[in-house]
Amino acid sequence: MVAIADSVPKPASRFRFILDRRDVLGSLMVAPAILYVLLLVGVPFLMAVYYSVSAYTIYDPSWRFVGLANFEQIIENPVFLQTLTNTFIFTFGSQTLGLVLGKFGALVLLRPFPGRKFVRALIILPWAVPIALATVAWQWMFDSLYSVINWTLIALGFIDRSQAPNWLGNPDLAMLSVIVVNAWRFFPFAVVIFLAGITAIPQDVLDAATVDGAGFWRRNYQIIVPMILPIMAIGLIFGIVFTFTDLSIVFLMTMGGPVGATSVLGFAGFQTGIVSGDVSHGAAISLFMLPVLLVVVIFMLRFIRRREI
């Protein structure tokens, strides 16, 4: 083979010879994607880390190193501590609610009934539709005066028009509202994940369990749940990451208000770093997401490795 290639010394064939080496071609094919990601995710990430220990603002774009001063100032600010707590409440609340809704939604869709396909198509909608647009629809449903939810509650006689709740104006209700909207947005994903997991379980495993005397709950919690745990974990990881770092729902519905009651890390980072132009403090606020992201990533890596054995 080599002799034949040498006897035709055209540059094209030599080029081709290199391209026919599996390792060379493989690296060449991966390179553009890796470069793009390194340049526009890797480098900016390092820049974000450096911003957080510098005195950089858009008015004074210096790279002066100030150590951990930014972090100290942030932690001493009680408003930030509330933001941090809010972020955990927001994430935990909406993921729990989303998982519960997802599990029951999947149970409902597992049983055949007329119109099941149509209902499934509708259940996908909250997850498919751009979240900013769906959030605006919810904002309109939570409107202080024309809220359809309040109208219904009044019409059913639960409340009086004078004591109708101002959903986005009351600190606790505002938090509840953004949690509900986020859970609403994620539950279809959970439904889909649960369905994919449950339908992948071989029927004979379930039949064998039934023959051995396992009832509905036992089948559910000792066979189905352990078997769909991997796929569930992946779904949950996505959910946690995207909720913990979310900005759009809070930005559109409450602007972090009333008085910071729904401010979350992503929103605070945006307000400080982009709106106020205090880039270094904004970057430091955003970096508080990192520990949670790291835990999630480590969990995911260990989990993938365990699957391989």
Separation of alpha carbons 223 and 206, rounded Å: 8
Q: For the CB of residue 172, give the shortest distance to other proteins in the complex, in Å.
A: 22
3-state secondary structure at position 65: strand
Interface stretch with other proteins, choices 1-9, 66-74, 140-148, 205-213 (CB under 8 A):
140-148
State the minimum distance, in angstroms, from the CB of residue 53 to other proteins.
13
Quick check: 93 and 172 in contact, CB under 8 A? no
For residue 267, the minimal CB distance to other proteins (Å) is 8
Q: Per-residue x/- mask for other proteins, residues 94 to 133, rule CB under 8 A?
A: -------x--xx--x--x-x-----x-xxxxxxxxxxxxx
Number of residues that bind other proteins (CB under 8 A): 94
* Residue among 79 and 200 whose Cβ is closer to other proteins: 200
Pick between residue 78 and residue 130 the one whose CB is nearest to other proteins: 130
Beta strands of 71-199 (E only): which ranges?
none
Using a 10 angstrom Cβ sphere, with 0-12 exposed, 13-18 middle and 19 or more buried, the burial of residue 17 is middle
Q: Does 301 bind other proteins (CB under 8 A)?
A: yes
Considering only residues 66 to 95 of the shown chain, the ones binding other proteins according to CB under 8 A are none
Point out which span in 90-98, 166-174, 206-214, 275-283 binds other proteins (CB under 8 A).
275-283
Q: Is 283 a residue that touches other proteins (CB under 8 A)? A: yes
Q: Which helix (H) or strand (E) holds 4?
A: helix 2-7
> Can the peptide bond before residue 112 be classed as cis, meaning omega within 30 degrees of 0?
no
Give dist(CA 68, CA 54) in Å, integer. 9
Asked if 22 interacts with other proteins (CB under 8 A), we say yes
**Is residue 65 involved in binding other proteins (CB under 8 A)?**
no
Least distance (Å) between residue 46 CB and other proteins: 8
| 227 and 307 Cβ atoms separated by less than 8 Å | no
Q: Do 259 and 82 touch, CB atoms closer than 8 A?
A: no
> Cα separation of 188 and 179, whole Å?
15
> What's the min distance (Å) between Cβ of 37 and other proteins?
5
Q: Residue 32, interface with other proteins (CB under 8 A)?
A: yes
Cβ atoms 264, 181 nearer than 8 A:
no
Q: Which of 2, 3, 29, 309 binds other proteins (CB under 8 A)?
A: 29
Give the residue, chosen from 85, 140, 221, 259, that forms a contact with other proteins under the rule CB under 8 A. Answer: 140
Radius of gyration in angstroms for the set of CA atoms belonging to the chain, rounded to a whole number: 26
Q: Which of 14, 44, 72, 208 binds other proteins (CB under 8 A)?
A: 44
| Residue 84 near residue 265, CB atoms below 8 Å | yes
Residue keyed to tokens 């599990």: 103
- Pattern of binders to other proteins over 200-239, x per CB under 8 A? ------------------------------xx--x--x--
Q: How far is CA 294 from the centre of its chain?
A: 14
Closest CB to other proteins among residues 8, 212:
8
Residues 6+ apart with CB under 8 A from 281: 70, 73, 74, 272, 273
Taking CB under 8 A as the criterion, the residue among 5, 173, 209, 289 binding other proteins is: 289
In angstroms, the CA 155 to CA 148 distance is 10
Piece of 63-71, 148-156, 202-210, 211-219 that binds other proteins (CB under 8 A): 148-156
